[in-house]
């Protein structure tokens, strides 16, 4: 049985990936510093899978803590989620973002080099493409200058991994996520945004739940059919499964290059208005919304060409947008019930 280290394994995408790893027969060790996650998620994962993952509270910014962890644990591969992810906050606190997202990555890669651990999966983002010149976006689309320190940490992160793969015995895959949404069907795990949500779907579900009075559509004057911006919303469980596919590719030594990168999306773009309609239709909830100015830094449209990921990873999405939105709503209702 292979042992996989999942950093940030109690976060939104991390927790769903731990579930899929355990369901696929991997032994999982989670490390997380609980800076943006809750320890209770460990029990939720245990409820879903019947197995409690091994957990260590480790702060990856602390080189000594990282080294101590690797001294005590034998690891076959790493899936690295632990990172800060708020675009606006990264503009205010760039150095914290570079320290956390880049520093941690370097320490992990150094331990991998020193201990001959050679399988690494990295959480990257479609943000590396900026406003792509052609849609759908293929992996060959040029990397555009980053719009934020957060986006820059994903670009620099990929470069650091590529250089490490060239210099050392390391095999890595970067997964460039489009917009992950939804929750596990058990509604034991889901997204837990702190404070006012920045992302569309949590804002939608909190508005439907009455926590927010009104949803703002950021701009209806984009050059799109209905004027609102287009994204590729992928169910987090489908996204989690892409990590298992990528990991198997590395463990089976099926990879053609020591550093590979894939678009992980559905291939289908939806506008903000289409999301609102789909949410209302699939949940029966009516949303109160208004249109406001565009949000700085937003692109007009981004959706994936997933041909290469489908072929090389032998993976494809299985869930519909409606299922994803319904699961996000079910999760929201559960949170609201817990707090009332
Ligand atoms: C954002 C980040 C991206 C990051 C991703 C993580 C920006 C510019 N980009 O993607 O780098 O990887 O989150 O999940 O922040 N919208 C509204 N009203 C809202 C919220 C959003 O109309 O209250 C619109 C946005 O303008 C956008 C779409 O909904 O067109 C999706 O927004 P969001 O969920 O924040 O994701 P991205 O901006 O695509």
Domain with residue 258: its CATH number is: 3.40.50.720
DSSP letter, residue 256: S
Report helix, strand and coil shares of the chain as percent, to nearest 5: 40, 20, 40
Decide whether any atom of ligand 1 lies within 6 Å of the 198 Cβ.
yes
Decide whether any atom of ligand 1 lies within 6 Å of the 336 Cβ.
no
Q: Is residue 70 part of a domain?
A: yes
Burial of 318 (0-12, 13-18, 19+ CB in 10 A): exposed
CA distance 43 to 53: 9
Q: Distance between alpha carbon 191 and the CA centroid of its chain, in Å?
A: 11
Predicted pLDDT of residue 340: 67
Q: Whose CA is nearest to atom 16 of ligand 1?
A: 200
| 157: CB partners within 8 A, 6+ apart | 101, 102, 105, 122, 124, 174
CA distance 62 to 60: 5
Predicted pLDDT of residue 64: 98
Cα atoms found within 13 Å of the Cα of residue 175, Cβ hemisphere only = 30
334 CA distance to ligand 1 middle (Å)? 24
Q: Residue 28 phi/psi, 5° resolution?
A: -115, 135
Q: Is residue 318 part of a domain?
A: no
Q: Is residue 219 part of a domain?
A: no
The preferred substitution site among 91, 201, 272 for testing ligand 1, maximizing ligand atoms within 8 Å of CB, is 272
Predicted pLDDT of residue 339: 75
How many angstroms separate the Cα of 272 from the Cα of each of 28, 34, 199?
37, 32, 11
CA distance 38 to 15: 11
218 CA distance to ligand 1 middle (Å)? 9
Please give the chain's pLDDT, 340 residues, in tens: 999 999 999 999 999 999 999 999 999 999 999 999 999 999 999 999 999 999 999 999 999 999 999 999 999 999 999 999 999 999 999 999 999 999 999 999 999 999 999 999 999 999 999 999 999 999 999 999 999 999 999 999 999 999 999 999 999 999 999 999 999 999 999 999 888 999 999 999 999 999 999 999 999 999 999 999 999 999 999 999 999 999 999 999 999 999 999 999 999 999 999 999 999 999 999 999 999 999 999 999 999 999 999 999 999 999 999 999 999 999 999 998 887 6
**Which pair of structure tokens corresponds to residue 76?**
């076959």
199 CA distance to ligand 1 middle (Å)? 5
Q: Is residue 22 part of a domain?
A: yes
Q: Is residue 119 part of a domain?
A: yes
CA distance 340 to 324: 25
Q: Whose CA is nearest to atom 28 of ligand 1?
A: 200
Write down the pTM of the prediction: 0.98
Closest CA to 109 of 124, 100, 119, 99: 119
Q: Is residue 14 part of a domain?
A: yes
Number of domains in the chain: 1
The preferred substitution site among 192, 199, 229 for testing ligand 1, maximizing ligand atoms within 8 Å of CB, is 199
Angle at 88 between CA 290 and CA 162, to 5 degrees: 125
The preferred substitution site among 128, 130, 231 for testing ligand 1, maximizing ligand atoms within 8 Å of CB, is 231
Decide whether any atom of ligand 1 lies within 6 Å of the 199 Cβ.
yes
CA distance 213 to 217: 13
120 CA distance to ligand 1 middle (Å)? 27
Q: Which domain holds residue 8?
A: 3-182+233-265
Q: Is residue 327 part of a domain?
A: no
Q: Is residue 49 part of a domain?
A: yes
Active site residues: 150
Closest CA to 105 of 88, 124, 91, 128: 124
């Amino acid at each position: 049985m292979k042992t996989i280290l999942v950093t940030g394994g109690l976060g939104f995408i991390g927790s769903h990936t731990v579930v899929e790893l355990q369901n696929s027969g991997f032994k999982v060790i989670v490390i997380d510093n609980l800076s943006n996650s809750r320890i209770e998620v460990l029990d939720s994962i245990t409820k879903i899978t019947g197995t409690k993952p091994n957990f260590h509270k480790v702060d990856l910014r602390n080189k000594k803590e990282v080294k101590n962890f690797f001294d005590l644990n034998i690891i076959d591969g790493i899936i690295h989620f632990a990172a800060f992810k708020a675009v606006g906050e990264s503009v205010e606190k760039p150095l914290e973002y570079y320290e956390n997202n880049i520093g941690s990555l370097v320490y992990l890669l150094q331990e991998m080099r020193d201990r001959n651990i050679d399988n690494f999966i990295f959480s990257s983002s479609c943000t590396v493409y900026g406003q792509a010149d052609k849609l759908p976006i293929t992996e060959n689309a040029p990397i555009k200058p980053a719009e934020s320190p957060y986006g820059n940490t994903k670009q620099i992160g990929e470069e650091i991994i590529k250089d490490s793969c060239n210099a050392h015995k390391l095999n890595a895959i970067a997964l460039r996520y489009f917009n992950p949404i939804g929750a596990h069907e058990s509604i034991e795990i889901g997204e837990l945004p702190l404070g006012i949500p920045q992302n569309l779907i949590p804002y939608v579900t909190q508005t439907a739940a009455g926590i927010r009075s009104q949803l703002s559509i950021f701009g209806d004057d984009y050059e799109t059919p209905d004027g609102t911006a287009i994204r590729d919303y992928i169910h987090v469980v489908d996204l989690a499964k892409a990590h298992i596919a990528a990991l198997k590719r590395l463990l089976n030594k099926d990879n053609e290059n020591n550093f590979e990168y894939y678009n992980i999306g559905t291939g289908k773009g939806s506008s903000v208005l289409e999301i609102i309609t789909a949410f209302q239709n699939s949940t029966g909830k009516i949303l109160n919304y208004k249109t406001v100015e565009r949000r700085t830094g937003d692109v007009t449209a981004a959706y994936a060409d997933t041909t290469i990921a489908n072929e090389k990873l032998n993976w494809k999405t299985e869930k519909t947008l409606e299922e994803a939105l319904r699961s996000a709503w079910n999760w929201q209702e559960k949170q609201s019930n817990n707090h009332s």
